[in-house]
Amino acid sequence: MPTEIPRRTVLAAAGGVAAIAAVPVTLTVIDATAAPAAGSSTVDVTLTVNGTVYRRTMEARVTLLDALREQLGLTGTKKGCDRGECGACTVIADGRRIKSCLTLAAMRNGSEITTVEGLADGDDLHPVQAAFVEHDAFQCGFCTSGQIMSAVALIEEGHTGSDDEIRDWMSGNLCRCGAYPGIVAAVREAAP
């Protein structure tokens, strides 16, 4: 049989619930004001880029792309989409091509990175760079450093058996200028 609860009791209980509910809100505010001071989320990162060792302290959320461009001044690696779609940011990390906008610099701590700045030997272009020039494999050039880094890795990977294979394995690098025929020709020429 249901027990009758006086209205006053219900209201008092509700007030208690409201008071309890208010506690976490208050705590949340206190927590927010006690958040770590700016800079305490930084990490020390060591990267070897094109043979030079760089040590930097940076926010943990910094991508490898932003670290290269903004902290190391290596702006040859381009930021296109900044979300893994265009390939403009391609670099080689520990022997594998990656999209540097999708990787945190902290995750690459201790890695060896090669960017487009590291390909030429003084005034002598890397064979892939020379082939891109030879075959007019660019127009505006914005995608080109990513295309070249991808091509260098692709040749190492051995995916140059045919033009179709080259196209398949270069498909992560987009070119808004449509320089694809020249790109494929350049990769074909640079391949052994």
CB-based contact 66:56 (threshold 8 Å): no
For residues 88-117, one letter each, b for 16 or more C-beta atoms within 10 angstroms of the residue's C-beta and e for the rest, the string is bbbbbbeeebbbbbebbbbebeebebbbbb
- Does 79 contact ligand FES by CB under 6 A? yes
- Does 58 contact ligand FES by CB under 6 A? no
- Does 89 contact ligand FES by CB under 6 A? yes
* Region binding ligand FES by CB under 6 A among candidate stretches 46-54, 73-81, 112-120, 152-160: 73-81
Q: Which helix (H) or strand (E) holds 148?
A: helix 144-157
- Does 186 contact ligand FES by CB under 6 A? no
CB-based contact 115:149 (threshold 8 Å): yes
- Does 61 contact ligand FES by CB under 6 A? no
Residues 9-38 that bind ligand FES (CB under 6 A): none
Residues 155-174 that bind ligand FES (CB under 6 A): none
DSSP track, 31-95: HHHTSPPTTTTEEEEEEEETTEEEEEEEETT-BHHHIIIIIS--TTS--SSSSSSS-TTEEEETT
Binder to ligand FES among 59, 70, 82, 189 (CB under 6 A)? 82
Site string for ligand FES, 128-157 (x = CB under 6 A): ----------xxxxxxx-------------
- Does 101 contact ligand FES by CB under 6 A? yes
CB-based contact 111:47 (threshold 8 Å): yes
- Does 85 contact ligand FES by CB under 6 A? yes
- Does 88 contact ligand FES by CB under 6 A? yes
* Region binding ligand FES by CB under 6 A among candidate stretches 10-18, 52-60, 67-75, 80-88: 80-88
Binder to ligand FES among 131, 151, 152, 175 (CB under 6 A)? 175
CB-based contact 137:164 (threshold 8 Å): no
- Does 48 contact ligand FES by CB under 6 A? no
CB-based contact 25:39 (threshold 8 Å): no
| Chain centre distance of CA 104 | 6
* Residues in contact with ligand FES by the rule CB under 6 A: 79-82, 84-89, 99, 101, 138-144, 175-177, 179
